[in-house]
Amino acid sequence: MALKPLQIAGLTAAALAAVVGFWLLRNFDPNAAGSPFPECMFHAFTGWYCIGCGMTRALHALTHGDVPRAFSMNPLAMSMLSISPLLAAWKLGWQPAFLRPLIAVVAEPKFWLVLLPFYWIARNLPWFPFTLLAPGS
């Protein structure tokens, strides 16, 4: 399969963005004063955690090899990040039978229409075990 010039340019831009993002996350702490990373606007305005709250800090922890801390910052995002290579491989044609049930669930829009609002609400509930979903718990 030959890539078109526009596809090559897109892949090159994505790879460059990934390298720069990794470098930034490796060298700058999102929690430190003067960090180049913006805070979550939703949390700043409402005081509630959104679906993505803690994602930058989770990726920062991952660049430093701290997987438990990354999961404590945003468990859903880190779970999805951990299965994304399997999903990409499926999309590229590697389709083993054992992945079929996972793909069937993840590809279903109803799954996301239930999961994302539930996660958003649950991570803002002040009781255990929901407090474990809040960033930094």
* Residues of the chain above pLDDT 70, percent: 99
CA distances from 89 to 4, 83, 96, 98, 104 (A): 20, 10, 10, 13, 15
**pLDDT per residue over 51-83, tens digit each?**
999 999 999 999 999 999 999 999 999 999 999
d(CA 69, CA 66): 6
Q: Give the number of other CB atoms < 10 A from CB of residue 74.
A: 28
Q: Give the number of other CB atoms < 10 A from CB of residue 58.
A: 27
Per the document, the length of the chain is 137
Global pTM value: 0.84
What pLDDT, on the 0 to 100 scale, is given for residue 90? 85
